[in-house]
Amino acid sequence: MYDNKEGRRDRNNRRASILDNWDYKNHIENYQFYLETVSLMITIPVVLNAINDGFNFQPINLLRIGAKLGLLTTDAEDSFSLNDLALHGTLEHDASLSRNDYALANSNPGVDYYNITSAAQVLEQRLAEDKIVNPTLINTVKELTVRIVESGFYLSVMGNVTTGVAPKNFVQIFFREERLPLEEGWEPSEVPIDMNNFDNLLSEITNVTTWAPSGEVICPWIRLQPEGEVVVVEG
């Protein structure tokens, strides 16, 4: 049993460890996570370990799939770079929350937090805006799924995975300044984020989100390599 003094020391040591190990923090645009990188050779273990160590987010299957999709953005055999992830159609997608993030600031007015309801409103608002400015918008169930995962990610890692509530200040710094709000008091989740509680959060966001496919492309699709045509994935 630790007393309060030892508990505080443990928390301070954990925070210092994060600061020491994350000298090079880069924001990956679509999946909204940070990882330590000293080169352009980012591997799947690097991604999963960074998320686990930095956010207490266990390497669930959903994250493994996302990391593996990163390999489709490059011709390299076992690694990718941040620039590779900009390839449209694999992880990068339309109506992204990490672009034009002013939409986040306009949601949930009058309070200092984001929640499941405001996250759903942001999804709908970003899509409505992109429909106006992007005539080639792609909006299939694949894009919806990625956007919902992104929403669950920022609510859980910047806030509470159980309640789905995250301080606005933390989330805005995470998106706009592309850094962890350590100086503002953020700490990794004390509760491990796992398949069960994260799936529950995604389900709650989905249940309050209004969505329908739109545009010329209706079937889910994915780009399997940097060159060549896209591949339509029949649902």
179-192: pLDDT as tens digits? 899 999 999 999 99
Residue with the larger pLDDT of the pair 42 and 234: 42
Q: Which residue has the tokens 């509760």?
A: 191
State residue 23's pLDDT score: 35
Give me the DSSP letters along 203-235. HHHHHT-----BSS--S-EE--SSSS--EE---
**Per-residue confidence band for 178, with pLDDT thresholds at 50, 70 and 90:** confident
- pLDDT for 110: 83
Assess whether pLDDT exceeds 50 at residue 3. no
Which pLDDT band holds residue 99 (cuts at 50, 70, 90)?
low
pLDDT at 185: 94
Higher-pLDDT residue of 152, 24: 152
- Spatial distance between the Cα atoms of 149 and 110, rounded to a whole number of angstroms: 26
CA–CA distance, 101 with 156 (Å, rounded to integer) = 18
| CA of residue 53 relative to chain centroid, distance | 16
Task: Give the model's confidence band at 218: pLDDT under 50 very low, under 70 low, under 90 confident, else very high.
Answer: confident
Instruction: Tell me which residue range forms the domain holding 141.
Output: 4-232
Long-range contacts of range 173-176, CB-CB < 8 Å, 24 or more positions apart?
174/27, 174/32, 175/32, 175/97, 175/98, 175/101, 175/104, 176/101
Percent of residues, the chain, with pLDDT higher than 70:
75
Domain count, the chain: 1
Pairwise CA distance, residues 60 & 198, whole Å: 9
pTM for the complete prediction?
0.79
Dump pLDDT digits (tens) for 109-144: 789 999 999 999 999 999 998 899 888 888 999 999
Mean pLDDT, range 88-101, rounded to an integer: 76
Instruction: Mean pLDDT check: name the lowest of 26-30, 139-143, 182-186, 208-212.
Output: 26-30
CATH number at residue 220: 1.10.489.10
Query: How far is residue 184's CA from residue 123's CA, in Å, rounded to a whole number?
Result: 26
